Chains A and B, each alone.
Chain A
C-alpha cells in the first residue's frame, strides 16, 4: 500500500482496522487513541513498536508482549483499504469526532469506534433499556413485551441487547407498537454481520429497518464471552431509564445495573415471587433500594412523560371470563409454574373437574401447558 493511498483514508478507517485486531477491547483501543493519529498508531502496531507506549502496556495488563505480538502479526495481514471499503454500507463514527451519540461521547468508558446499521438518530429521543435474564418466565417475557410496546407507543425508544428471553420480548413489543412508534435500538456484542444468537435472526434484520443496530466491533467479529459485559455498559450508557424485568442472583442484567448506577441512570426493577429464582436478583435490587416497576406506564412516570398512574382499571381482558372452577384454578396457580397434583391439592377439586377446568383455561389462553407444567398467562 502506497503512502499516498493510505493518506487518502479518513481517520476513522484506521481505527476500524485497529478495532479488528485480536484481543482488542475498548480500554486498549482508547489507550492507543491517546498516542496519536490512526495512521501513525497503525504503523507502530504493525511495526511491533507498541512497547514505546507505557500507557498502552498498562491498559493491556498482563502478557502485554504476547498481545502486542499478536497485533503485529495480524496487522501485517490486514489490508486497511479493503477493511474500510467493507464497512461502506454502515455509519461508522469515531470517538471525539462529534459523530458519536452524545451519551457515548461523554462516557468514561466510551467506544472508540461505533458501527451503526439503520438510523443512528434513533437514540436521540428519550430511551428506556429493558434488560433481564435469558432464562425468564413466561410472565416475565410478557411484561417485557408490554413495557416495550407501551414505551415505544409513548415515543420512548427501547434499547436492548437482542439476547434470548427478556431482551427479545421487549423489542418485539416495541416493533408491535406501530409504524409511528419510537424506534428500537439494539446493541450487540459481535460484528453487525455475525448474528448471535441465531434465534434473533429476524430481529437482527428488523431492528435496523425500523431503528438502529449498534456494535463497537468491526464486521466479522465473533461473539466472545467477554464482549457481553462490554455490550451491557453501552446499553446502560444509551438509556435514560434501565428496567430489570427478571434476573437471577447473578448475571448480565445485574452487570448492566451496576453500569447504569455508575452513570446516574434511573434504575427500576420488577418485583417477583419470592421463591422464583428468576426474580432473586430483581427482588434483591428492591431490597437495596432500587425503584419498583409495577406497570409499564411507570417508566413514563419516571421519565416525566406521564402523570402517576391512577388506580383505575385498564380496558377489560378480551378473553372469555373463566368459569367458577377456572377462577379457582387461576387463583391457585398464581404466577409460578405448577403441576396438576399441586393444583389438585391447592384447589381441592377432583382431578377430573380440574382437567376439565384446565382444558377450558387452555382453550381461552388463560394458561400455558408445557410438559406437565402449567403457567398462567397475563394476556391471550
Chain B
C-alpha cells in the first residue's frame, strides 16, 4: 500500500495535500531504496533449500505490482554470502574514491543544467543521451521483445548516461552498447517475469 501511495510523489517530486479549504503542494524529492526477499522463506536463490510452494512464491511476488516495480531504476539480485566469504572477505573499493567519482559525475550532470541525470527532461534525451548504433539496436531489440516499456526506455537512457559519466568517458560522446546493456540489466534484474521450472 505504501509503495503504491508513493508512486505519484516519486514521479512528480511533490506531495499534494488537499483539505476542505486549501490545497497545498509540498516538495517531496526523495530517493527510495527498498529490499525484498525472493520468496516468503528467503531461500529461493538456492533451489532445493526453498520451502515455498510455487503458488506461495507467485503470491509473494504479486504483492509488488508491475507499475510500482517499473519505477525502480536499479534492481540488483543479492546472493547469500557463504561462510568463508563472510569470515575472510576481500576488501572492496574504499568509499573515498567512489565518493570522488560520484562528485565528478554530479558535476558533469550539473554542467548539463540538471541536478542529476534522472532529471533530464524527455525533450532533451536525444540531445543529452545520444546513442551509438550498437546501443540503438540493443534498445530497439528490448522494446520489440517487451523487455522495456516506453517509460523504461527514457529511464534506461538516463541511467546509462550516469554509468557513462561514472566511467569518466567523454560527456559528449554517444552512449555505448555496454552502458545501455548494463542499465537494462540493472533495471530488470535480467528477469521479466516469473517462469516455472518445469
Is B152 part of the binding interface, using a Cβ–Cβ cutoff of 8 Å?
no
Interface 9-residue window, one of B8-16, B112-120, B173-181 = B173-181
What distance in Å separates the Cβ of B51 from its nearest Cβ neighbour in chain A? 8
What distance in Å separates the Cβ of A19 from its nearest Cβ neighbour in chain B? 29
Interface string of A159-197 (1 = CB under 8 A from B): 000001110110010000000000000000000000000
Q: Is the CB of B191 within 8 A of A371?
A: yes
Interface 9-residue window, one of A78-86, A103-111, A346-354 = A346-354
* Alpha-carbon gap, A137 to B47, bound state (A): 5
Q: Is the CB of B79 within 8 A of A339?
A: yes
A-B contact count (CB 8 A): 121
Q: Is the CB of B48 within 8 A of A352?
A: no
The 10 closest A-B pairs by CB, nearest first: A372-B77, A278-B48, A352-B178, A369-B190, A372-B189, A277-B48, A355-B181, A277-B49, A355-B182, A339-B77
Chain A residue numbers with a CB within 8 Å of B182 are 351-352, 354-355
Q: How many residues of B contact A (CB 8 A)?
A: 36
Q: How many residues of A contact B (CB 8 A)?
A: 46
Chain A residue numbers with a CB within 8 Å of B194 are 370-371
Q: Provide a sorted-by-A list of 19 A–B residue pairs whose CB atoms are within 8 angstroms.
A: A135-B47, A135-B50, A136-B48, A137-B47, A138-B197, A140-B47, A141-B197, A164-B54, A164-B198, A172-B198, A248-B49, A276-B47, A337-B79, A352-B181, A359-B184, A359-B185, A370-B190, A373-B77, A373-B191
Q: Is the CB of A372 within 8 A of B47?
A: no
Which positions 351-380 of chain A face chain B at CB distance < 8 Å? 351-356, 358-359, 362-363, 368-374
CB closest chain-B residue, reference A140: B47
User: Which B residues fall within an 8 A CB radius of A?
Assistant: 38, 44-51, 54, 75-79, 82, 138, 141, 163, 167, 176-179, 181-182, 184-185, 189-191, 194-198
* Alpha-carbon gap, A352 to B194, bound state (A): 25
Known: A136-B197, A277-B49. A372 touches B78 (CB 8 A): yes
Q: Is the CB of A358 within 8 A of B47?
A: no
Q: Is the CB of B195 within 8 A of A337?
A: no
Chain A residue numbers with a CB within 8 Å of B79 are 337-339, 341-342, 373
What distance in Å separates the Cβ of B148 from its nearest Cβ neighbour in chain A? 12
Chain B residue numbers with a CB within 8 Å of A135 are 47-51
Chain A residue numbers with a CB within 8 Å of B141 are 363
Chain A residue numbers with a CB within 8 Å of B178 are 350, 352-353, 355-356
Is A210 part of the binding interface, using a Cβ–Cβ cutoff of 8 Å?
no
Chain B residue numbers with a CB within 8 Å of A342 are 79
Known: A248-B49, A278-B47. A368 touches B195 (CB 8 A): yes
* Alpha-carbon gap, A354 to B194, bound state (A): 23
Q: Is the CB of B190 within 8 A of A358?
A: yes
Q: Is the CB of B191 within 8 A of A352?
A: no
Chain B residue numbers with a CB within 8 Å of A368 are 195
What distance in Å separates the Cβ of A289 from its nearest Cβ neighbour in chain B? 22
* Alpha-carbon gap, A140 to B158, bound state (A): 40
What distance in Å separates the Cβ of A118 from its nearest Cβ neighbour in chain B? 22
* Alpha-carbon gap, A363 to B82, bound state (A): 31
* Alpha-carbon gap, A164 to B50, bound state (A): 14
Chain A residue numbers with a CB within 8 Å of B49 are 135, 248, 277-278
Q: Is the CB of A352 within 8 A of B179?
A: yes
Q: Is the CB of A372 within 8 A of B197?
A: no
Known: A340-B190, A352-B178. A137 touches B184 (CB 8 A): no
Interface string of A38-69 (1 = CB under 8 A from B): 00000000000000000000000000000000
* Alpha-carbon gap, A172 to B198, bound state (A): 9
Chain B residue numbers with a CB within 8 Å of A141 are 197-198
Is A328 part of the binding interface, using a Cβ–Cβ cutoff of 8 Å?
no
Q: Is the CB of A371 within 8 A of B189?
A: yes
Chain A residue numbers with a CB within 8 Å of B51 are 135
CB closest chain-B residue, reference A137: B47
Is A319 part of the binding interface, using a Cβ–Cβ cutoff of 8 Å?
no
Is A298 part of the binding interface, using a Cβ–Cβ cutoff of 8 Å?
no
Is A246 part of the binding interface, using a Cβ–Cβ cutoff of 8 Å?
yes
* Alpha-carbon gap, A353 to B182, bound state (A): 8
Q: Is the CB of A373 within 8 A of B48?
A: no
What distance in Å separates the Cβ of A320 from its nearest Cβ neighbour in chain B? 15
A168, A277, A371 pick with most chain B CB within 10 angstroms? A371
Which positions 174-225 of chain A face chain B at CB distance < 8 Å? 199
What distance in Å separates the Cβ of A174 from its nearest Cβ neighbour in chain B? 13
Chain B residue numbers with a CB within 8 Å of A363 are 141
Q: Is the CB of B181 within 8 A of A359?
A: yes
What distance in Å separates the Cβ of A179 from its nearest Cβ neighbour in chain B? 22
Which positions 239-284 of chain A face chain B at CB distance < 8 Å? 246, 248, 275-280
12 new A-B contacts at CB < 8 Å, known A276-B46, A337-B46: A133-B48, A135-B48, A137-B197, A248-B49, A338-B79, A341-B79, A355-B184, A359-B138, A359-B181, A369-B190, A371-B44, A373-B45
* Alpha-carbon gap, A166 to B78, bound state (A): 27
- With beta carbons under 8 angstroms apart, the residue of B47, B181, B184, B191 that contacts A277 is B47
